[in-house]
Amino acid sequence: MKRVILLGSSGSIGESTCKVARALPDKMKIVGLGVAKSTDRVLEQAREFGVEAVAVSDPRAAEKVKKDIPKGIKFYPGEEGLTRMVEETEAEMVLVAIVGTAGLAPSLAALRTGKDLAVASKEILVLAGSAVMREAKKNQRKILPVDSEHNAIFQCLQSAKNQEVRKIILTASGGPFRQSSAEEMKKVTIAQALKHPTWSMGKKITIDSATMFNKGLEMIEAHWLFGLPMSQVEVVVHPQSIVHSLVEFVDGSVLAQLSVTDMCFPIQYAVTYPERRPSGLPPLDLPKLGTLTFEAPDEKRFPALRLAREAGEAGGTLPGVFNAANEVAVEAFLEGRISFPRIWEMVEIVMSSHSTQKEPDLAAIVAADQWARIQARAIVGGKP
């Protein structure tokens, strides 16, 4: 039985993780739940799974819900609550699915206190890849990718040594504007950008898929996770989202992982690894699928990939700046304040005015993140 702490339980990955826990009652037990503000949902989940601890990071939401926490459940309120719950609750694994920088400190705390880390939040490796990998090594803990692409690569690499890998190839759906011209993208509406062709996800990640910033973030994540330089991380557009990623080996052989699009697949593998368990998930019907197609990404129309490569190669604080500027730009786009292509422009402007700090500590990472947000907001506001 694996005892799992789930951070970000009310989001789309969090709910899928709960589904996996329901399907694997003899293999997985959720013992702790963390949310920012979704107190009603976390109380329901706490009762359903009989957890030992609950953390609510938003101080006002925590204050309000305090009196409703059932007896016998340890409550961790406020910003430090997530980290304290991770430190003090006995568990084998912490699955982090909270957006933003809030997942950083609890992730490092998980590794420090001898727990494996299942990573769903991109920010953890994009912002602090070096620190997180170092902490995992020091404590001999595993980092298990939950993102479908990285989970696919992780599966393909099971029998391989690192020096046998020529490159890893992340698949990208290409989003709703895969075939749109640069001119057409200037007129993209919020509703059009929120319509993802294959995956149903939160708003931020759906826009990131449309701009391909999501794939850019995943390139940087893969670079850290698998210890490969950015030059060995490639992207191929695969509109059907059935092949979740591939690994090319030095002998020219390529392995791929395929499944229908359901996040329960990578979550279950991360939890049961190194074992595989039967699941009630739908199998792949290849004859019904018929055709799978692949095409090269167009970095001119989708500059996010080029910017990601730059950020990943520079390392230090630049990937965090890339991420933070994009977050502000996406918010501004969703508020109708900037055009769709302006998202790329804003990130490029903020990145080019940043002086990268190498080997940053957590404080420097957070400082660079805040600096980038201020710069990006100023651009939205029309100042610099």
Query: Which positions touch Mg ion (CB under 5 A)?
Result: 147-149
Find residue 53's DSSP bridge partners: 32, 74
316: which residues sit within 8 A by CB, 6+ positions away?
356, 357, 358, 359, 360
Name which of 66 and 203 has its Cβ closer to Mg ion: 203
Taking the complex as a whole, the smallest distance from the CB of residue 148 to Mg ion amounts, in Å, to 5
The full DSSP string for 345-371 is HHHHHHHHT--PPSS--HHHHHHHHHH
Name which of 32 and 175 has its Cβ closer to Mg ion: 175
CA 37 to chain centre: 20
Name which of 152 and 271 has its Cβ closer to Mg ion: 152
Task: Indicate the residue whose CB is closest to Mg ion.
Answer: 147
Taking the complex as a whole, the smallest distance from the CB of residue 220 to Mg ion amounts, in Å, to 13
Name which of 86 and 233 has its Cβ closer to Mg ion: 233
Name which of 235 and 318 has its Cβ closer to Mg ion: 235
Taking the complex as a whole, the smallest distance from the CB of residue 147 to Mg ion amounts, in Å, to 4
Taking the complex as a whole, the smallest distance from the CB of residue 346 to Mg ion amounts, in Å, to 23
For 254, other C-beta atoms within 10 Å of its C-beta total: 12
Q: Would you call the peptide bond into 384 cis, given omega within 30 degrees of 0 as the criterion?
A: no
Taking the complex as a whole, the smallest distance from the CB of residue 243 to Mg ion amounts, in Å, to 13
Taking the complex as a whole, the smallest distance from the CB of residue 292 to Mg ion amounts, in Å, to 17
CA distance 17 to 269: 11
Taking the complex as a whole, the smallest distance from the CB of residue 97 to Mg ion amounts, in Å, to 13
Whole-Å CA distances, 212 to 134, 220, 297: 29, 13, 10
User: Hey, what amino acid is at 376?
Assistant: A
Name which of 147 and 248 has its Cβ closer to Mg ion: 147
258: which residues sit within 8 A by CB, 6+ positions away?
242, 243, 244, 284
Taking the complex as a whole, the smallest distance from the CB of residue 228 to Mg ion amounts, in Å, to 17
- Order of strands across the sheet with 165-172? 233-237, 165-172, 243-249, 254-258
Whole-Å CA distances, 161 to 84, 164, 226, 247, 250: 36, 5, 11, 12, 11
Name which of 38 and 148 has its Cβ closer to Mg ion: 148
Name which of 51 and 119 has its Cβ closer to Mg ion: 119
Burial 122-161 (b: 16+ CB within 10 A, else e): bbbbbbbbbbbbebbeeeebebbbbbbbbbbbbbbbeeee
